[in-house]
Amino acid sequence: MKQLTHIEKNMLKALFFMCLFAAFSFNSSAQFMGGIGASYGDDIQQFAPNLRLYYFPNHKICLGPELAYFPTIEEKGIKKELMEYGFSGHYIFPLSEHLAFYPLVGLNFAIETKSHQDVVEEVTSFGANLGAGFHLECGRYFPYAEYKYVASALAQNVFSIGLLINIPNPKKESNTEH
């Protein structure tokens, strides 16, 4: 059986914490969204899938964890991969009935692994996420486009596009009068 790499173990931990976040979010009557997207990091010069879960305590504020994995790339015999965990908050400004703008601020934890032959170097970094984005409401689907700057020792500009899906909250629906 194959041993999990350090990055794979961290990815599993992040998914576990995202599931915990989701479980606690369902104990309220707030809105909850999950999403998937693609990100491009200009420092690592690589595309990454990303996952996000958002909790909306009201219609203006959302917060939640994000996970992006920039897969292994090889350049000049050096293999490099990057895992970014984030927790961001957004304040939503409606621009029209379906279009909204949001500034974002949050925390970032990144792990970059470089390997060359038998030498493995791992760099971890805490930092801040600063940026902005737009989302478009299409029923329960919310396509989004976002930019954020990761301010840390592993700093980079990250451009993301993706789709958020409004997940019905059973508590909220059961409390609704007909």
Quick: pLDDT tens for 93-143: 999 999 999 999 999 999 999 999 889 999 999 999 999 999 999 999 999
In a domain? residue 30? yes
In a domain? residue 60? yes
- Specify the pairing of strand 156-167 against strand 31-41: antiparallel
Q: Are 36 and 142 in contact (CB under 8 A)?
A: no
Supply the range of the domain harboring residue 61: 6-174
In a domain? residue 58? yes
CATH, residue 30: 2.40.160.20
State residue 26 phi and psi, 5-degree precision: -70, -10
In a domain? residue 65? yes
In a domain? residue 42? yes
**Single pTM value for the model:** 0.81
Q: Are 17 and 25 in contact (CB under 8 A)?
A: no
In a domain? residue 1? no
What does each of the 178 residues of the chain score in pLDDT, given as a tens digit?
556 566 666 666 666 566 655 555 555 567 889 999 999 999 999 999 999 999 988 889 999 999 999 999 998 889 999 999 999 999 999 999 999 999 999 999 999 999 998 899 999 999 999 999 999 999 999 999 999 999 999 999 999 999 999 988 766 554 433 3
> How many domains in the chain?
1
Rounded CA gap, 143 and 162, in Å?
Answer: 6
